[in-house]
Chain A
């Protein structure tokens, strides 16, 4: 939902360099540029996605905006507050949910976890008990509320993470890979919950690896790679950017990085992605015109076991690959 009226997040030239670690013995490594002069804005009520490969700078960006990291340079405001200078004022109005197994007290029950974090957010005492129960109901954990988190399944932990992220009714919710490692059914339920929160007016910024998730959930996306924003717009506009392209999909055995580079080097190929399946590989090439390229592709793969070559329409994932890996 996007009313297009108010800017909730404003990011200008945001940069984060992780300094080299100082060690008494051994090499502390080199400093690392994680986010490189990033600019974007998020409007009230939007679901805004940060999409990118591992190490692209997604999590670093979201952590700077949620006051967990101090930017090296540049400026970021959330809800009109500077993420460094006004961090204390900002924290009660935002929350962050990270994906993965960790981030909860495993020896405590789900209810005790929410109880603790409600106190951290100073949820009014008279409201706390009801609020915790409402959240448990909302994420479907009422029956498991008094079971220790160490006995929860992966999906239950993720639902508890989400409930924790809602204890303070945040105006702005940051979700760092919220469906990471979840089975398809739980991931679908999680996406439904995110949509529901958005419908209620919450502004949400999420990071994800999954294109279909970004496509399904996000009003707008930023594709980030090597710390820089490569593209910014709606999923529709991103798909439109490859509308005049075509995809050649090759399924074969015994093709690897050498062949991928060979395919990427063919004239008219703008990007190649490779998926390694059980006993076979799937290469998708974003090309300008498929007809003339197919014989060249077949020639390049001569001697390999080619199972199929077919022509397809580009998806958001192809747009993403083109923007991240394209020539």
Chain B
């Protein structure tokens, strides 16, 4: 069950929290900015597509860093405030509330990505023009959505245990690598491919690169294929996350763990 009204209210609530709580500036603005700057420094002597590759990598890193911190912490924040039960006693599905918050975080990620391009262009003098702007913007939106959905899955585990934090912080860096955002998938060992293909952000990053670089198509799927797979995996993950919320909410209600912080 999905409640659009709960999603909208949660999105609004998250935006208010962002503006009134300075702590969110660190994961949402400062950390992605540092990631991007470091990446651009590392690649500053490279030229052409490789430099743009670094810009894109920095952008995806920023979006993902923002998502994992903000979205997965969504329930953690309710645990901290003691509001998890206040929400769960309402008719609004918790998954809709978390999804609404994730959408705000995705929107912030979009701002991050724009900031990365502006920094790359004006501070490092990098040519950030892309081959297919429409395809690129579509890929960017889908990638953000896919990251938000992944953040939602991580967030679901906070319903049952406050210990999720440490585990998911640990996953932050493997996903940077496995999604192919920073390093091309072809240089990773063969056995890592199934993990990479299972992450929606992998297809999103691929779509971004195909639309940005002339002649790039490392997985031979074309832009429609990459966009389609990003959308498909995102939908699959979204459905999984709704099921996961149902299951984990039930577990929490059996174990009586909703109020622990």
Contact = CB atoms under 8 A, between A and B. Distances in A.
Contacts of A115: 9
A105 B88 contact: no
**Most A CB atoms within 10 A — which of B5, B89, B250?**
B89
B258 interface: yes
A29 to B, nearest CB: 12
Interface size bracket, B side: 20 to 34
B189 interface: no
Interface in A106-130: 106-108, 112, 115-117, 119-122
Contact of A95 (B5, B81, B89, B97): B89
Contact of B17 (A34, A95, A107, A164): A107
Contact of A92 (B6, B20, B91, B255): B91
Contacts of B86: 96, 98, 103-104, 117, 164
Contact of B9 (A66, A67, A106, A119): A119
Contacts of B1: 88
B64 to A, nearest CB: 25
**Most B CB atoms within 10 A — which of A60, A95, A101, A116?**
A116
Interface in B1-50: 1, 3, 5-6, 8-9, 12-13, 16-17, 20-21
B260 to A, nearest CB: 10
Contacts of A148: 20
B90 A120 contact: yes
B20 A60 contact: no
B240 interface: no
Interface size bracket, A side: 35 or more
A104 B81 CA distance: 6
Interface string A30-71: 000010000000000000000000000000100100111110
Given A103-B85, A105-B83, A106-B81, A91 B90 contact: yes
B88 A121 contact: no
Nearest to A148: B20
Given A18-B255, A100-B82, A106-B81, A116 B13 contact: yes
B92 interface: yes
B1 to A, nearest CB: 7
Contacts of A18: 255-256
Nearest to A100: B82
Interface string B52-89: 00000000000000000000000000000111011111
Nearest to A161: B86
B83 A96 contact: no
Contacts of B255: 18-19, 21
A67 B92 CA distance: 13
Contact of B254 (A70, A98, A120): A70
Contacts of B12: 116
A6 to B, nearest CB: 23
A327 interface: no
B115 to A, nearest CB: 24
Given A68-B85, A100-B82, A121-B90, 12 more contacts: A16-B256, A66-B89, A68-B258, A91-B89, A95-B89, A102-B83, A105-B83, A112-B13, A116-B12, A116-B13, A120-B87, A121-B92
Interface of A: 16, 18-19, 21, 34, 60, 63, 66-70, 88, 91-92, 94-96, 98, 100-108, 112, 115-117, 119-122, 148, 164, 168
17 contacts: A18-B256, A69-B254, A70-B254, A88-B91, A91-B90, A95-B89, A98-B86, A103-B85, A104-B82, A105-B81, A119-B5, A119-B92, A120-B87, A120-B92, A120-B97, A122-B91, A164-B86
Interface of B: 1, 3, 5-6, 8-9, 12-13, 16-17, 20-21, 81-83, 85-92, 97, 250, 253-256, 258
